[in-house]
């Protein structure tokens, strides 16, 4: 797949790794959430051949959750050794792996998906996301901020109405590192969403999106934008 999502202003191929440690109701890649999902495997050689055929100099590794794969660093090294700059999209719940990748400069860019208000009361945040979710993502955010001078990153939040409200935007925006880029992704009710109920959820309208942007800016976020995936 070729897309801009996950790496702003750069069109690049995307490699999706199956398997995820979360079960977000609005996930559009539900067919690869289960690491045992019946999919057609593609060899690394075939992947690289495709990258070469489109003259790709960058590649985004997404999922699923890439950081749950024990061979992720080998994959990223393979790309880099073959002159393809690797980027990473992660949910931030495996900060140990992310920290190692950042320390060894294995990626040039990271998209951190913050799915809920990690600064709210922990029991409320972790309902459906797992015990420890908030602290793990906070650690990942801290790691990215500490490496900001070396590696570019963006924070992104999907605007799923039952999870992300104006109050959530208000809370998160007060903790977004100053100077960091925050992308608010519009929710899309596609046929591939994980939970059937999500297919009937109505996305926020443009008026609400504008209010969210204004609220974030009023709390000091200087780089915030809406993305339509």
Position 146 pLDDT exceeds 90? yes
- Rounded to a whole number, what is the largest CA-CA distance in the chain? 49
Indicate the SS3 state at residue 100: helix
Predicted local distance difference test score (pLDDT) of residue 5: 45
pLDDT single digits (tens) 5-30: 445 666 789 999 999 999 999 999 88
From residue 164, give the alpha-carbon distance in Å to each of 36, 40, 50, 156.
30, 34, 37, 12
Position 119 pLDDT exceeds 70? yes
Once rounded to an integer, what is the mean pLDDT over residues 120-132?
73
pLDDT single digits (tens) 31-78: 889 887 776 778 888 888 989 898 899 999 999 999 999 999 999 999
Comparing CA positions, the residue from 206, 122, 115 lying closest to residue 162 is 115
Q: Is the CATH number of domain 2-227 3.40.190.10? A: no
Residue 204 or 123, more confident:
204
**Contact criterion met (CB below 8 Å) for 190 and 28:** yes
Reported as a pLDDT band with limits 50, 70 and 90, residue 168 is very high
Percentage, residues of the chain above pLDDT 90: 72
Once rounded to an integer, what is the mean pLDDT over residues 104-114?
96
Reported as a pLDDT band with limits 50, 70 and 90, residue 150 is very high
Predicted local distance difference test score (pLDDT) of residue 131: 77
Reported as a pLDDT band with limits 50, 70 and 90, residue 4 is very low
Predicted local distance difference test score (pLDDT) of residue 1: 40
Reported as a pLDDT band with limits 50, 70 and 90, residue 144 is very high
Q: State the Cα angle at 103 between 145 and 112, rounded to 5°.
A: 40
């Amino acid at each position: 797949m070729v897309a801009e999502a996950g790496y702003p202003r750069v069109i690049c191929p995307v490699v999706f790794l199956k398997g995820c440690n979360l079960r977000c109701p609005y996930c559009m890649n539900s067919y690869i959430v289960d690491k045992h999902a019946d999919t057609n495997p593609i060899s690394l050689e075939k992947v690289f051949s495709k990258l070469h055929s489109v003259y790709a100099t960058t590649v985004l590794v997404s999922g699923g959750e890439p950081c749950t794969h024990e061979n992720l660093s080998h994959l990223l090294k393979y790309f880099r050794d073959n002159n393809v700059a690797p980027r990473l999209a992660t949910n931030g719940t495996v900060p140990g792996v992310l920290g190692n990748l950042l320390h060894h400069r294995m990626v040039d860019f990271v998209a951190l998906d913050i799915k809920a208000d990690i600064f709210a009361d922990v029991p409320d945040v972790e309902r459906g996301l797992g015990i420890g979710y908030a602290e793990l993502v906070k650690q990942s955010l801290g790691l990215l901020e500490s490496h900001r001078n070396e590696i570019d990153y963006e924070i992104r939040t999907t605007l799923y109405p039952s999870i992300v409200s104006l109050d959530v935007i208000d809370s998160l925006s007060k903790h977004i590192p100053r100077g960091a880029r925050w992308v608010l992704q519009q929710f899309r009710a596609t046929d591939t969403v994980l939970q059937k109920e999500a297919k009937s959820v109505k996305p926020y309208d443009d008026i609400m999106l504008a209010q969210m942007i204004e609220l974030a800016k009023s709390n000091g976020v200087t780089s915030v934008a809406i993305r339509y995936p």
